[in-house]
C-alpha cells in the first residue's frame, strides 16, 4: 500500500522522512543533501571530515524545511559506523533513507592513478576499504535498523558508469585532474561494479521487509579535470558534455520517494547517453 503522499506531486514529498548521506560534504553528496532537505527530509550530512560535514549542514539548514545535522564517520570502521547510526537516531528517532555515497581517492593521487601493472596492493585495499567495505558496513547497519523498526525504507547506492563499461583510454590522452595525469583505475571500476552487485543482493534480501535498494550510476561529472579531458570525454557522450553534479539529484529524490515505490534492485544510469553508444 502506498503512503498518504502517493498521489500527485506528493509522491516526491519527503516531509517527516530522515535521510543519511555518506560522503555528504563531497562533490555529489552536498547536492544530494540539499535536494533531500529541500524536499522536506531531515538530513544527516555524514562525512569523514567533521568540520566539512558541520559546515555543509549549516549552509543547507538556512533554507531547509527539515532539520540538518553534520556527523563525522569513517565508513571503513564498524565502530565509527555504529556511532554514526546512534547519533542519527538520537537526533531524528529513525532512518527512512540512506544514500550510501562515500568513496575514496587517496591523498597521493599519483598512487591512485598508477598504471595497472604497477598498482600497489596497499592502495587497492585503501580504496576498497571505503568504496566497497564502507558500502557494506553502512548498508548493514542502516538496513538492520530499518528492519528492526519494521519500517519501509529506501537505500540508494552510488556506483559509476565504469561499473558497466570499460574506459576508453583515448579520453585520457593528455588529461589531468588537479594537475596530475589521470586514467580510470581498475580499483575504481571493480569497486563500483561491486556496488551494483551488493545492490541487487540486498534488494532481494530485504524486499520482504519493505526495504528497497537501488543504485545511482553517474557518468562523468565536472570536478576539476582539465579542459582537454572535458573536450575528449564530451566527444564520447551523445549529449556532448559532462554532467554537472546537481543533475544527479533528481534521480536520488525519485529513488528516495514514493514515486519509485515498486522499484528495487535497479540501476538508474545518468550519463548523457554514454552507455547507449
pLDDT band at 3 (very low <50, low <70, confident <90, very high): very low
84: which 3 cell numbers?
A: 554514526
Report which of 151, 163, 148, 253 is spatially closest to residue 200, judged by C-alpha positions.
163
Has residue 7 got a pLDDT over 70?
Answer: no
Q: Considering only residues 5 and 255, tell me which one the structure prediction assigns the higher pLDDT.
A: 255
Q: Residue 4: what pLDDT?
A: 40
pLDDT tens profile 100-158: 999 998 889 999 999 999 999 999 999 999 999 999 999 999 999 999 999 899 999 99
What residue ranges do the domains of the chain occupy? 14-109+122-165+186-224+245-270
Question: Among this protein's residues, is 261 annotated catalytic?
Answer: no
Average pLDDT over every residue of 177-196:
93
Asked whether the predicted pLDDT for residue 75 surpasses 90, the reply is yes
Closest of 17, 90, 102 to residue 53, by C-alpha: 102
| Catalytic annotation present for 192 | yes
Please tell me which residue in 17, 31, 177, 192 is annotated as part of the active site: 192
Q: What pLDDT sits at residue 9?
A: 54
Please give the pLDDT value at position 11. 83
160 is catalytic: yes
Shortest CA distance to 174 belongs to which of 220, 224, 226?
A: 226
Which tens digit of pLDDT belongs to each residue from 200-221? Answer: 999 999 999 999 999 999 999 9
What is the dotted CATH code of the domain comprising 14-109+122-165+186-224+245-270? 3.40.50.720
**pLDDT single digits (tens) 84-103:** 999 999 999 999 999 999 99
Torsion-angle region of residue 128: left (phi > 0), alpha (psi -120 to 50) or beta? alpha
Residue among 167, 134, 156 at smallest CA distance from 216: 156
Q: Using one digit for the tens of pLDDT, what is the confidence trace for 10-68?
A: 789 999 999 999 999 999 999 999 999 999 999 999 999 999 999 999 999 777 788 99
The residue annotated as part of the active site, out of 31, 172, 177, 188, is: 188
Sorting pLDDT into bands at 50, 70 and 90, what band is 272?
A: very high
Predicted pLDDT of residue 238: 98
Q: Is the pLDDT of residue 1 over 90?
A: no
pLDDT on residue 2? 39
Average pLDDT over residues 247-268: 98
Q: In the predicted model, what is the mean pLDDT of residues 234-243?
A: 97
Confidence of residue 177 (pLDDT cuts 50, 70, 90): confident
Catalytic position from the list 64, 76, 154, 160: 160
| 41 closest CA partner among 75, 85, 83, 92 | 92
Amino acid at each position: 500500500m502506498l503512503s498518504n503522499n502517493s498521489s500527485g506531486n506528493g509522491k516526491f514529498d519527503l516531509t517527516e522522512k530522515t535521510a543519511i548521506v555518506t560522503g555528504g560534504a563531497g562533490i555529489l553528496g552536498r547536492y544530494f543533501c540539499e535536494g533531500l532537505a529541500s524536499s522536506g527530509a531531515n538530513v544527516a550530512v555524514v562525512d569523514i571530515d567533521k568540520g566539512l560535514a558541520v559546515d555543509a549542514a549549516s549552509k543547507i539548514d538556512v533554507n531547509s524545511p527539515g532539520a540538518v545535522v553534520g556527523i563525522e564517520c569513517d565508513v571503513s570502521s564498524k565502530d565509527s559506523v555504529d556511532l554514526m547510526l546512534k547519533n542519527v537516531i538520537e537526533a531524528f528517532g529513525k532512518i527512512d533513507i540512506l544514500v550510501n555515497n562515500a568513496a575514496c581517492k587517496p591523498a597521493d593521487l599519483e598512487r591512485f592513478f598508477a598504471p595497472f601493472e604497477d598498482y600497489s596492493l596497499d592502495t587497492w585495499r585503501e580504496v576498497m576499504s571505503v568504496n566497497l567495505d564502507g558500502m557494506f558496513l553502512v548498508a548493514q547497519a542502516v538496513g538492520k535498523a530499518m528492519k528492526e523498526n519494521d519500517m519501509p525504507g529506501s537505500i540508494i547506492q552510488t556506483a559509476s558508469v565504469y561499473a558497466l563499461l570499460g574506459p576508453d583510454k583515448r579520453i585520457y590522452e593528455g588529461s589531468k585532474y588537479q594537475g596530475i595525469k589521470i586514467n580510470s583505475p581498475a580499483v575504481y571500476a571493480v569497486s563500483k561494479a561491486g556496488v551494483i552487485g551488493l545492490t541487487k543482493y540486498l534488494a532481494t534480501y530485504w524486499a520482504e521487509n519493505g526495504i528497497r535498494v537501488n543504485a545511482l550510476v553517474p557518468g562523468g561529472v565536472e570536478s576539476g579535470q582539465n579542459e582537454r579531458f572535458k573536450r575528449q570525454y564530451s566527444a564520447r557522450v551523445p549529449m556532448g558534455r559532462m554532467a554537472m553534479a546537481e543533475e544527479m539529484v533528481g534521480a536520488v529524490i525519485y529513488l528516495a520517494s514514493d514515486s519509485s515505490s515498486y522499484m528495487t534492485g535497479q540501476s538508474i544510469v545518468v550519463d548523457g547517453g554514454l552507455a547507449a553508444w
